[in-house]
Amino acid sequence: MRADSLPLRPIILCVLALVAGGCPPPAEGPPTAAEAERFLSEAEQTLLERSNEEARTGWVQATFITQDTDILYAQANERYIGAAVDLAKRSTRYAGLELAEDQKRKLERLRLSLSLPAPDDAELRGELTRIAAGMDSAYGRGEYCTAEGECRDLGELSRVMASSRDPEELREAWTGWRTISHPMRPQYERFTELANQGARELGFDDLGAMWRSQYDMPPDELTAETERLWQQVRPLYEQLHCYVRGRLGDVYGEEAVPQDGPIPAHLLGNMWAQSWGNIYDLVAAPGDAQGVDLTTLLERAGVDSRGIVRYGEQFFTSLGFPPLPETFWERSQFDQPQDHDAVCHASAWNIDSEDDIRIKMCIQINAEDFNVVHHELGHNIYQRAYNQQPFLFRDGANGAFHEAVGDAVALSVTPEYLVQIGLLDEAPPAAGDLGLLLQQALDKVAFLPFGLLVDKWRWNVFSGETPPEEYNAGWWELRQRYQGVTPPVARSEADFDPGAKYHVPANTSYTRYFLAHILQYQFHRALCAAAGRQGPLHRCSVYADATAGERLQEMLAVGASRPWPDALEAITGTREMDASAILDYFAPLATWLEEQNCARQCGW
Ligand code: X8Z
Ligand code: ZN
Instruction: Give nearest CA residue, ligand 1 atom 7.
Output: 513
Does the pLDDT value for residue 15 go beyond 80?
Answer: no
Give mean pLDDT, residues 456-479. Answer: 98
Query: What digits encode the pLDDT tens for the residues 158-190?
Result: 999 999 999 999 999 999 999 999 999 999 999
DSSP 333: B
Give mean pLDDT, residues 256-269. Answer: 98
282: Cα separation from own chain's centroid: 28
At residue 19's C-alpha, the angle toward residues 14 and 24, to 5°, is 55
Does the pLDDT value for residue 27 go beyond 70?
Answer: no
- The per-residue DSSP string of 565-585 comes to HHHHHHHHS-SS--THHHHHH
Give mean pLDDT, residues 493-519. Answer: 98
Q: How far is the CA of 451 from the centre of ligand 1 (A)?
A: 10
CB 257 within 8 A of CB 267: yes
Query: What digits encode the pLDDT tens for the residues 573-596?
Result: 999 999 999 999 999 999 999 999
State yes or no: is 172 an active-site residue.
no
User: What are the C-alpha distances in Å from 602 to residues 258, 411, 448, 449?
Assistant: 12, 29, 18, 16
Query: What digits encode the pLDDT tens for the residues 115-141?
Result: 999 999 999 999 999 999 999 999 999
State yes or no: is 376 an active-site residue.
yes
- The pLDDT score that the predictor gives to residue 9 is 32
For the CA of 346, the nearest ligand: 1
Q: How far is the CA of 502 from the centre of ligand 1 (A)?
A: 9
- The pLDDT score that the predictor gives to residue 10 is 33
Give mean pLDDT, residues 105-112. Answer: 96
- The pLDDT score that the predictor gives to residue 583 is 98
- The pLDDT score that the predictor gives to residue 288 is 66
Strand partners, 144: 152
The secondary element (H helix, E strand) that includes residue 302 is none
- The pLDDT score that the predictor gives to residue 19 is 36
- The pLDDT score that the predictor gives to residue 285 is 84
Does the pLDDT value for residue 16 go beyond 70?
Answer: no
CB 114 within 8 A of CB 132: no
Q: Which of 241, 266, 374, 375 is catalytic?
A: 375
- The pLDDT score that the predictor gives to residue 292 is 85
